[in-house]
Amino acid sequence: MTTETATTTQVYRVWIKAAPERIWAAITDPEWNGRYAYQAQSFFELKPGGSFHAAASKDMKEYAAAQGFDLPDTIIDGEVIECDPPRRLVQTWRMLMDPTTAAEPFTRLTYEIEETKTQPGVCRLTLTHELTGAPATATMVASTEDGAAGGGWAWILSDLKTLLETGAPFAG
């Protein structure tokens, strides 16, 4: 893998003891996706050409105000490209909560949910984020061991796994 590839395509995998339908719901249903990671509900129109957006939570808005900056109501937007429940979701994705990332082009996010053959009841969730032309977004979503940028995709997927397997997110 070249340095250019590493910064423009990020791939994350997590194995979750849950049915594909539960994982799909945790990703696409705002009642689920608002319970883990940053607790920002995401709304999908689950069809090609359908809209996608994530809304800032009350806590996020309060934190931003305390830090002296405004946070838009819609913090991430995009469009559904492919939808094959409960196996595959492809969408565009743009972070709007920072002026630098908001100025970058839409990126491409793919979720793939696969049942494992050797471990009944366990699925592999692979998230691929294609970030060509979006270096600030690539930095924001990259996973870092010290938790910079909130921990990025690895942290989000780990919290999703924790919620599905234990019934409570990290902060819960």
172 residues of the chain, pLDDT tens digit each: 344 444 799 999 999 999 999 999 999 999 999 999 889 999 999 999 999 999 999 999 998 999 998 899 999 999 999 999 999 999 999 999 989 999 999 999 999 999 999 999 999 999 999 999 999 999 989 866 555 446 789 999 999 999 999 999 987 5
Position 172 scores a pLDDT of: 55
Q: Residue 164 is inside which H or E element, if any?
A: helix 152-166
- CATH numbers and ranges of domains, the chain: 3-166 (3.30.530.20)
Q: Give me the amino acid identity at 99.
A: P
pLDDT tens across 32-51, in order? 999 998 899 999 999 999 99
> Under a CB-based contact definition with an 8 Å cutoff, are residues 101 and 88 in contact?
no
Gap between the Cα atoms of 162 and 166, Å rounded: 6
Gap between the Cα atoms of 38 and 21, Å rounded: 22
**What whole-number percentage of the chain has pLDDT above 90?**
78
Q: Give me the amino acid identity at 45.
A: E
Q: Which two tokens stand for residue 35?
A: 């319970």
Contacts 24+ apart (CB under 8 A), 114-118: 114/20, 114/87, 115/20, 116/15
Position 7 scores a pLDDT of: 72
Q: Residue 82 is inside which H or E element, if any?
A: strand 74-84
> Under a CB-based contact definition with an 8 Å cutoff, are residues 89 and 111 in contact?
yes
Half-sphere exposure for 155 (CA within 13 Å, toward CB): 18
Residues 6+ apart with CB under 8 A from 99: none
Gap between the Cα atoms of 170 and 130, Å rounded: 27
| Total-model pTM | 0.91
Gap between the Cα atoms of 159 and 26, Å rounded: 11
Position 128 scores a pLDDT of: 98
Residue that has been written with the tokens 């990290």 in this structure: 170
